[in-house]
A = this chain, B = another copy of it.
Amino acid sequence: MKNDNLHIELLPKEKVLRDPVHNYIHVTHQVILDLIDTREFQRLRRIKQLGASSFTFHGAEHSRFEHCLGVYEITRKICDKFARNYPTQKPGDGLWDDSERIVALCAALLHDVGHGPFSHTFEGIFNTDHEAITRMIITNPKTEVNQVLKKVAPKFPEMVASVIGKTYPNPQVVQMISSQADADRMDYLLRDAYFTGTQYGSFDLTRILRVIRPYKDGISFDRGGMHAVEDYVVSRFQMYQQIYFHSVSRSMEVILDHLLKRARYVYENSELQVVDQLAPFLEKNWKLDDYLSLDDGVLTTNFGIWRHHPDRILSDLATRFLDRKPLKSAVFDSSTKSMIPKMKKLIDEVGFNPEYYTAINDSFDLPYDLYDPHAENPKTQIEIMEPDGSLTELSELSRLVRSISGEETGDARFFFPKSMLLKTDQTQIFDPTYQEFQTYIHNGHLVNPKKK
């Protein structure tokens, strides 16, 4: 056993946490229980997993806390399966060394511990980086997480961080937590499907866990379970199309982005009341401890104050976010992108500042990776193992997977105020402007009216 110098304490009796997706989260190690109880991990209860998606799917109020528990639980099941069916006999045989279990479990649990409120938008404005912060939380000796991890071994925090950073030497452990078919993706698909109330994400986890197996360079799947893996990849594609790329959620993210940008502008150029927890970020002088005080409620509490601010753009955007008043949008492509400047001009004419009331949002840029066997890191392909032990990359076996591989699948949208679509008897004085604007949109797409 490689890691036999770790101090591993088992609980006198297994504890369970009720979970709607996995039924129970099973905890058998003291270190896992202690990590869950840390301040840094409990904080994840106050951060929504899907951010602005809950404005579209009202059930999706679930937190990053439960997602992290779910990734831990799937990892635990994979370890159980590997330990039972593929225990290593001698070093280098490509089988599973169960002394790797504890580092895998801790990395699974902590892989997202650095996330903040509405991470993707917040990071763009305030230059935070949740991956770097995850590493800081794990390795900074002041955090409770670090102190808990150190009880296992002095170097243990760095081991856990290296798994998340993908530099850990054992590729099986790394790929459990991050690869094209890892515990992270498996949990979020199932969980987001459950809480949004859609079925697209509901692949057959039990079957995938039956066919998953270690090999020398990482993780693969038995040939007999190819269709279960194919179904998982298709589910992921469908979740992106239907949930993660939904235009209303993206519109609310646009509003959030513009609101935070305006807040920074007002803060720098006039006066803005902010609560303690947010101030360091507007001051551009924040520490880890400041970051750990943020959560969704801190942001919305500020917005609740700002909605009464004299700056009309700020107060309007705050109101739009709190009261869910999304922008509208239309799809464009390279042939119709040229319409956008004209449309912005019309929007400006009726009194909306285009900088804050329009946006181009490209779901291709969304920080999710679709399945791509030709990506830079060839290790993260999904490999299928034939009965004789040879490996085949999934898209060679599956026409469905092939059809969605290596291509971008999102859409590019132009966002604008809903009132631009008002019918002319409602708009009165600006009638011709509204009318012209509306000629640029047909069937939800930008069009060039001259070419019609």
Q: Taking beta carbons and an 8 Å cutoff, which residues of A are in contact with B? A: 14, 16-21, 23-24, 37-39, 42-43, 45-46, 48, 54, 57-59, 61-63, 65-66, 69, 85, 194-200, 202-204, 206, 210, 223, 227, 230-231, 234, 237-238, 241-242, 273, 275-277, 293, 295-301, 304-305, 319, 322-325, 386-388, 399-400, 402-404, 407, 409, 442-444
Separation in Å of the A306 CB from the closest CB of chain B? 10
Separation in Å of the A178 CB from the closest CB of chain B? 23
A43 vs B322: C-alpha distance when bound (angstroms): 7
Given contacts A39-B319, A227-B241, 6 further A-B contacts (CB under 8 A): A20-B197, A39-B323, A45-B61, A275-B275, A293-B304, A295-B300
Interchain CB contact (< 8 A) of A19 among B21, B59, B210, B399: B59
Query: What are 28 of the A-B contact pairs (CB < 8 Å)?
Result: A18-B58, A18-B59, A19-B58, A19-B197, A20-B194, A21-B197, A23-B197, A24-B206, A37-B324, A42-B322, A45-B61, A58-B66, A59-B62, A61-B63, A199-B231, A200-B231, A227-B241, A234-B400, A276-B304, A277-B301, A277-B304, A295-B300, A297-B298, A301-B301, A399-B403, A399-B407, A400-B400, A402-B403
A58 touches B54 (CB 8 A): no
A407 vs B24: C-alpha distance when bound (angstroms): 33
**A39 to B, closest residue via Cβ:** B323
Separation in Å of the A168 CB from the closest CB of chain B? 28
A38 vs B17: C-alpha distance when bound (angstroms): 37
| Residues of chain B lying within 8 A (CB to CB) of residue A298 | 297, 301, 304
| Residues of chain B lying within 8 A (CB to CB) of residue A202 | 199, 202
A48 vs B404: C-alpha distance when bound (angstroms): 37
Separation in Å of the A129 CB from the closest CB of chain B? 22
A200 vs B442: C-alpha distance when bound (angstroms): 36
B37 touches A45 (CB 8 A): no
Interchain CB contact (< 8 A) of A400 among B295, B322, B403: B403
A-B pairs, 9 with minimum CB distance: A297-B297, A20-B197, A403-B403, A20-B59, A301-B301, A61-B61, A42-B323, A58-B66, A297-B300
| Residues of chain B lying within 8 A (CB to CB) of residue A38 | 323
B199 touches A204 (CB 8 A): yes
Interchain CB contact (< 8 A) of A16 among B59, B210, B404: B210
| Residues of chain B lying within 8 A (CB to CB) of residue A325 | 37
Separation in Å of the A281 CB from the closest CB of chain B? 14
A17 touches B58 (CB 8 A): yes
Interchain CB contact (< 8 A) of A198 among B197, B204, B305: B204
Separation in Å of the A387 CB from the closest CB of chain B? 5
Interchain CB contact (< 8 A) of A20 among B46, B196, B230, B399: B196
A57 vs B62: C-alpha distance when bound (angstroms): 11
| Residues of chain B lying within 8 A (CB to CB) of residue A23 | 197, 206
**A23 to B, closest residue via Cβ:** B206
| Residues of chain B lying within 8 A (CB to CB) of residue A204 | 198-199
**A48 to B, closest residue via Cβ:** B61
| Residues of chain B lying within 8 A (CB to CB) of residue A46 | 297, 300
Interchain CB contact (< 8 A) of A399 among B16, B299, B404: B404
Task: Given the known inter-chain contacts A20-B194, A400-B404, please indicate yes or no for A66 contacting B62, CB distance below 8 A.
Answer: no
Separation in Å of the A384 CB from the closest CB of chain B? 11
A296 vs B297: C-alpha distance when bound (angstroms): 7
Interchain CB contact (< 8 A) of A443 among B54, B206, B386: B386
| Residues of chain B lying within 8 A (CB to CB) of residue A37 | 323-325
| Residues of chain B lying within 8 A (CB to CB) of residue A59 | 18-21, 62, 66
B297 touches A276 (CB 8 A): no
**A230 to B, closest residue via Cβ:** B238
A194 vs B19: C-alpha distance when bound (angstroms): 10
| Residues of chain B lying within 8 A (CB to CB) of residue A39 | 319, 322-323
| Residues of chain B lying within 8 A (CB to CB) of residue A227 | 200, 238, 241-242
Separation in Å of the A172 CB from the closest CB of chain B? 20
Separation in Å of the A29 CB from the closest CB of chain B? 15
A301 touches B275 (CB 8 A): yes
**A42 to B, closest residue via Cβ:** B323
